Amino acid sequence: MGIKEELGKKIKRMRLNRGLTQEQLAEAVDVSQRTLSGIEIGENFVTAETLDKIIKALNTTSEELFATDHLKEDDVIVEEIKNSINFIAKDSTKLDILYNVTKSLMKE
């Protein structure tokens, strides 16, 4: 995966984590929704000016935005979570914490 795709995936993930639609972020960044879509799927690369606006609109830092060492495909993440659950299940205190975190994530 190239830098355009990695950056686009990270922007999309951060946008979704902040509860923003493409339309909302595009408006905040002053680009068209089509342009933002192209950025998110790695077709378009951003200018420095647009990148600065994205960072501000997502209320993040360039360091966080460009930190890609933890990006993984969703199926890999799910498998790692399953493995973590099997490990955590052996400790009732950790299992209780995980249960409470999971319950809070389900409240949307």
Evaluate whether the domain defined by 3-66 bears CATH number 1.10.260.40.
yes
pTM: 0.64
Q: What is the mean pLDDT of residues 72-90?
A: 86
Domain borders along the chain are 3-66, 74-106
Do residues 5 and 73 lie in contact, with contact meaning Cβ atoms separated by under 8 Å?
A: no
Distance CA 77, CA 39 (A): 23
Burial zone of 26 (CB within 10 Å; 0-12 exposed, 13-18 middle, 19+ buried): buried
Q: What is the pLDDT of residue 54?
A: 97
In whole angstroms, give the CA distance from residue 79 to residue 86.
Answer: 11
Cα(23)–Cα(29) distance, integer angstroms: 10
pLDDT band at 68 (very low <50, low <70, confident <90, very high): low
